[in-house]
Amino acid sequence: MVVCVGMCLLLCHRAADAAWTVQRNTGIAEGKANCHLQSDTKPVNDGYQETRATLLVQQDAVLVQTAAPLDASFADIGIQVDKQGFIPMDTVSERKTALFTSDYATLIEQFKKGYMVRVQLRFWPTWPVTGTHNVTFSLIGFTKAYTEMLACTP
C-alpha cells in the first residue's frame, strides 16, 4: 500500500512538472536563440466550437496564444490567479495572441505563489456575441520551470 501511494505521488509530481516546459527557439532573421516557458495546451470553447489556448512566459511578457481570433473590443480579456485581482491584457498581437507586459512582474509573482490561473477570453466574430470564455491552467511546477527558463542558455 505504501509503495502504491509513493508511486502515485511520484507520478503526480512528474505530471505536474510536465505542465510547464522550457522551450528554445532560434530566430531565423536574428540568428539568435531565446528561451520561454510553455504551458500545456488546453481546450476552450469559443462560443461556436472547440479551440485551444496555451500560456507562454517570456523574460518580459506573458502571452496567451489561441487557435481562434480574439476580440479586444470589449476590453475583458485577462488573467486571474487564484483569488487575486483580475489583470486585463495590454493588447492583442497577430489576432490570436493576448499580451501582458505592463503587469509582468505582478503576474510572475502571482504565478510563483499560486495554484491555478484562469484566463478569460473573448473571441471574434463579435456577432452574435457569445461572451467571455474561461480556460484554466495549473501553476504547479511553474516556479521550478521559470527558474530553469531564466538559467537557459540558448
Average pLDDT rounded to a whole number, residues 119-131: 90
Burial class (CB within 10 angstroms; exposed 0-12, middle 13-18, buried 19+) of 154: exposed
What pLDDT does 6 receive? 42
Confidence bin at 5 (pLDDT 50/70/90) = very low
Confidence bin at 8 (pLDDT 50/70/90) = very low
Q: 26: which 3 cell numbers? A: 532560434
143 torsion bin: left (phi>0), alpha (psi -120 to 50), beta (else): alpha
What pLDDT does 34 receive? 85
Amino acid at 3: V
What pLDDT does 154 receive? 64
Torsion angle in degrees (nearest 10) through CA of 140, 144, 145, 149: 150
What domains sit in the chain, N to C, each tagged with a CATH number? Answer: 2-151 (2.60.40.1880)
